[in-house]
Each structure stands twice: as C-alpha cells, then as structure tokens.
Amino acid sequence: MHFVAGNWKMNLDRKSALALVSALRERAGQRTDLEIAVFPPFVYLDEVARSLAGSRIQLGGQNCCDEEKGAFTGEVSAAMLRDVGAGWVLLGHSERRHLYGESDALIQAKVQRALSSGLRVMLCVGETLGEREAKRTEAVIGAQLKAGLQGVKAADLDRMAVAYEPVWAIGTGVNATTAQASEAHAYLRGVLSGLYTPAQARGMRILYGGSVKAANAAELMRAPDVDGCLVGGASLEASSFLGIIDGAPRL
C-alpha cells in the first residue's frame, strides 16, 4: 500500500493546524487503500491526535531524543510521543543532519530508542548536490541507511519505513526525476536485500521526498520502487496535500 506523509516542519499555528487536519479527516480520513500520516510540530501533537481520533490518518513526531528520560533540557522523548498519541517518528531528516549536526551514530541511537518505545520510524536519507555531482549518491545514502538500521532486527522491520530525500530537492522546487528517484530507491532496496532478505526488502516502504507537489506526485509514485512520498511545503495546505493523496496509486 502506498504511503503519503506530510512533514509540517516548523510551520503553521494552532488554528491553521487544526483547520488543515479537519479538512484531511473529512476528505481522506477513512481511506483504506492508502496510508496517510502527518508530522506536526511537537506542541500541536496532542490536539492534532484528538482531532484525528476515529480517522485512519496516522500521526508522528518530527524528531525524538535518543535518551529515555532525564536531564535533557529542550528534548522530547519517544515515550512522550507515544503518550500523546503519535505512532511514528521521523528520524535523520536532512535538516536535522545538516542544520543541527546529527550524526549517523546519534540517528542510530534514536532509531533504537524509538523502536524500543513502540514507535514506528521513518528513516530519512539523502545526498547533497555536491555528493551527487561527485557521483557519491549511492555511497552516501547506502551508508546512512546501513548506519540507521544497525541493530534493527528483522522482526522490527514492519515498524520501519525509509524516505529518500535528496537534499538538493528539498524545498527547492527541483524534484528528482522519476528516473533519478527510481534509481536511488532500487539501490536502497538492494542494500536492504543484503541486510535482510529480498522478501523483507520488498516489504519495506521507500518514500520519495523533495519538492513533491500535486503536479508531480502521481508520476513519481508510479515509478518503480517508489512506495509513496514525504511532502513538506505542499502538505501545509489541504488542497495541495489532498491533490497529492488523490494522485497516489490505489491498491
């Protein structure tokens, strides 16, 4: 089943967040042919969870702490995300890696903490423009994937998804072509086959992210090995996000 996820990043306010969620719930809240999730800022999770109650739209946090609890001012734990009704957490987003210096080791620790707290994890990987130009895309995304999955048992794979998000495509309006996305996704699928079994690798959803909008989503999501999309800017308005949802391949 395809998966369409909206990463709100540090956008929207309480009122617009709730208005967006109520429009999504009304128009797409009972879809059974597609998985849909939203990732609001921490402070709105609780209210968004209440608003989504009874719908099939899932909820996630954009980050979590690698530590369980304690003196970590400003951090939010995986258990807290669960406590307010989030089922997912986004880890390794390029903004966390590049703006906040999160290392592969830290992301790996967060993945472990999130899984042991009962969360599902959407692990993001992606190369910069310089890395792509230097023909290092596969080396970079392969290393990020392997590091993030280190210690993840096969039994936990059904609680993992991967998002391939080339850094040069995020928020730039320049999306990867379907060929570029397919190539990267096929490579990641191959890495997963090596780490687990080919059947387990096939079962893992690999989403594409980076300047996805209603106009390009359907084509991207029909590309081989692209199992959905992670949407930033175009997930902030009901009309554009619903346009993407409506373009997703059905079961």
Closer CB to ligand PGA, residue 19 or residue 174?
174
Binding site for ligand PGA (CB under 6 A): 7, 165, 170-171, 209-212, 230-234
Closer CB to ligand PGA, residue 78 or residue 212?
212
Among 93, 95, 102, 185, which one carries the catalytic annotation?
A: 93
Q: In a 10 Å sphere around its CB, with 0-12 CB exposed, 13-18 middle and 19+ buried, how is residue 135 labelled?
A: exposed
- Between CA 166 and CA 126 the distance in angstroms is 4
Q: How far is the CB of 207 from ligand PGA (least distance, A)?
A: 9
- The reply to whether 165 belongs to the active site is yes
Among 35, 102, 131, 165, which one carries the catalytic annotation?
A: 165
Q: How far is the CB of 68 from ligand PGA (least distance, A)?
A: 27
Q: How far is the CB of 163 from ligand PGA (least distance, A)?
A: 7
Q: Residue type for 111, please?
A: V
- How far CA 19 is from CA of 170, 197, 237, in Å, comes to 25, 43, 9
DSSP helix/strand/coil, 99: helix
CB atoms within 10 A of CB 142: 17
CB closest to ligand PGA, residue no: 232
Torsion, Cα of 232, 248, 24, 61 (10° steps) = -40
Question: How big is the chain, counted in residues?
Answer: 251
Closer CB to ligand PGA, residue 62 or residue 197?
62
Closer CB to ligand PGA, residue 39 or residue 44?
39
- The reply to whether 98 belongs to the active site is no
Tell me the catalytic residues.
93, 165
